[in-house]
Amino acid sequence: MHGTEFEPTLHVKATMNTAAEHPKRIAVIGGGISGVATAHRLTELAPQCEVTLFEEADRIGGLLNTVRQDGFLLETGADNFITNIPWGIELCRRIEFEDQLVQTRAEHRTAFVVRRGRLLKIPQGFIVMSPTRMWPIISTPILSPLGKLRMACEYFVRQRQDESDESLARFVTRRFGKETYERLVQPLLGGIYTGDPEQLSTLATMPRFREMEHQHGSLSRAMLRHAKKQRKSESSGGSRYSLFVAPRDGISSLLQAIANRLPPGTIETHSPVQRIAQQETKGWTVSVGGNKPRTVAFDAVILATQAKAAAKLLADVSPQIADPLDAIHHSGCAIVSLAFRRSQIAHPMDGFGFVVPIIENRKILSGSFSSIKYPGRAPDDQVLIRVFIGGACQPELLELSDDALREIAVSELAELMGITGEPTLTRIARLPETMPQYYVGHQQRIATIESCVGDIKGLFLTGNAFHGVGIPLCVHSGEKAAEQASNYLTSNR
């Protein structure tokens, strides 16, 4: 069986016609979602400038890629994005892509957590680390009576007066107790960050919950008030989308739509950047390898690569920036996509997937029922499931062979979902050291980096290593970098 990559349409390099005799030139290095969003925003803000995006691979998208195979639509990275963070939806509107977004199936908007080998529904209204409805918490078999009592006591737990950072594990345990952390919060956070909440920073990953504690004294009190307002808004027609949406034809179609909005010649693939250098007089040079090695002059440079790649390029420019960038830890995972005939699966699959607590001692992080969440992901008589393996707590599993990863995924699904027989399709995507881990103290590190960057004329950074992961936050990061670069070039004519 062979897969076909969904590649964005690229343009042949052309000379820009502009009223300016010497248009300002901006280099965007890195063709992931952050870099592509950066390039697009630059063309909106500064159409008189010449933007060139360099990508070392043969396609844009980075970790995001859609593959069609045997009637299945497979994502090798993220398969959707959240809607209550606005920047992804706003970009889709500006590029007239909004009508290409599909919502999650309304009848299955729930998920499961593993407890003692069984898939149990996560209590309705439980949002990451705080309930919005009490009865589902009271009735759930996921928590013991003592665990539920301790969780209910969160309402009366005094707020922390110390303003310093603390780990997510400590924050949640302090407010809700150990059992709620181990059975509900840890697996949900692990599914978001593939990380270890014992080390992840509350201020960098979930600052809203610290704000709730300070403003309301209790997360439960804050969430119940918010839920009441939300239900009122929805009843009056204020809610238009489900919490998550996905492009009908896959994430790569979104990248293609953005690329098609760029001027001809903006994107150069097969163009690894080997060195950047600041000029003594003004501007930068970018040395590009690949099929057409050359050194090109630019007025500004925006690095949209992963943190360690940016650190390598900045090693000679500014060790004060490169060293803390290089120190940002990253975790990785493998995504094992498996297809089965529906008749092979005993579980009703009346949800979008499941997460697995560390204390269950299993070899998978989570499972996503891709073809249940969104239409058009699998033929009618089959089901597509993505299994996540590895993460910060089990990094050694990424060293296993493809056959071993497949065996783990199949055997775990067989136990948890009553699946019999072999999958009809298997595809494995490895994402080693791709998810930045916002450890305690992350905000201070990023503030130091950004302060040093601010002292270097014409240099800007963007990406998921700074202020958030996920497509909307990467879009926001890229658009902020574009605005900074545009303002810089405007003020330095």
For residue 354, the cross-strand partners are 112, 367
Residue 373 corresponds to which amino acid?
K
Domains of the chain, start order: 4-62+248-328+439-491 (3.50.50.60), 123-235 (1.10.3110.10), 330-436 (3.90.660.20)
pLDDT (0 to 100) of residue 124: 79
Residue 157: Cβ-neighbour burial (10 angstroms; 0-12, 13-18, 19+): middle
The vertex-364 CA angle with 360 and 370, nearest 5°, equals 125
Give yes or no for a contact between 472 and 81, defined as CB atoms under 8 angstroms apart.
yes
Q: Residue 295 forms beta bridges with which residues?
A: 287
DSSP string across 279-309: -SSS-EEEEE-TTS-EEEEESEEEE-S-HHH
The packing angle between helices 168-176 and 207-216, to 10°, is 40
pLDDT of residue 15: 37
Q: How many other C-beta atoms lie within 10 A of the C-beta of residue 298?
A: 21
Do residues 288 and 274 make contact, with C-beta atoms less than 8 angstroms apart?
Answer: yes
Distance separating alpha carbons of residues 100 and 255, to the nearest angstrom: 12
Give, for 387, the enclosing helix (H) or strand (E).
strand 382-390
Q: Is 267 helix (H, G, I), strand (E, B) or coil?
A: strand
Measured between alpha carbons, how far is 69 from 73 in angstroms, rounded to an integer? 7
Name the stretches of the chain with pLDDT < 70: 1-21, 125, 127-135, 227-241, 493
- The length of the chain in residues reads 493
> Over the stretch 2-12, which tens digit does the pLDDT of each residue have?
444 444 444 43
User: Side chain identity at 153, as an amino acid letter?
Assistant: C
Q: Is the separation of the CB atoms in 202 and 210 below 8 Å?
A: yes
Q: CA separation (Å) from 425 to 353, 379, 380, 420?
A: 19, 12, 15, 14
Is the pTM value of this prediction over 0.85?
yes
In Å, how far are 76, 80, 217, 232, 410 from 430, measured between CA atoms? Answer: 8, 18, 42, 43, 17
Note whether 434 and 406 are within 8 A (CB).
no
Please choose, from the candidates 118, 144, 119, 199, the residue with its C-alpha nearest in 3D space to the C-alpha of residue 166: 199
Q: What local confidence, expressed as pLDDT, does residue 231 receive?
A: 57
Are 20 and 490 within 8 A, CB to CB? no
Separation CA 83–CA 37 (nearest Å): 17
* CA angle at 62 for the pair 60 and 63, rounded to the nearest 5°: 140
Strand order in the sheet with 66-69: 4-5, 66-69, 72-75
Run of H or E including 4: strand 4-5
pLDDT number for residue 237: 45
**CB-hemisphere CA count at 13 Å for 248?**
7
Nearest to 209, CA basis, from 198, 219, 196: 219
Q: Check: CB of residue 226 under 8 Å from CB of residue 215.
A: no
Q: Residue 285: beta bridge partners?
A: 277, 297
Q: Shortest CA distance to 66 belongs to which of 133, 145, 141, 7?
A: 7
Measure the CA–CA gap between 36 and 146, rounded to whole angstroms: 50
Rounded Cα distance, 161 and 357, in Å: 30
Helix (H, G, I), strand (E, B) or coil at 69: strand
- Measured in degrees and rounded to the nearest 5, phi and psi for residue 242 equal -70, 170
**β-bridge mates for residue 83, sequence order:** none
Nearest Cα residue to 109 out of 97, 125, 96? 125
Q: What is the pLDDT of residue 109?
A: 84
Gyration radius from the chain CA atoms = 23
Instruction: Give rounded-to-5 percent helix, strand, coil for the chain.
Output: 40, 25, 40
Decide if 224 contacts 211 (C-beta within 8 A): no
Residues in a beta bridge with 382: 341
Q: 265, exposed or middle or buried, with CB in 10 Å at 0-12, 13-18, 19+? A: middle
Q: Say if residues 388 and 397 touch (Cβ distance below 8 Å).
A: no
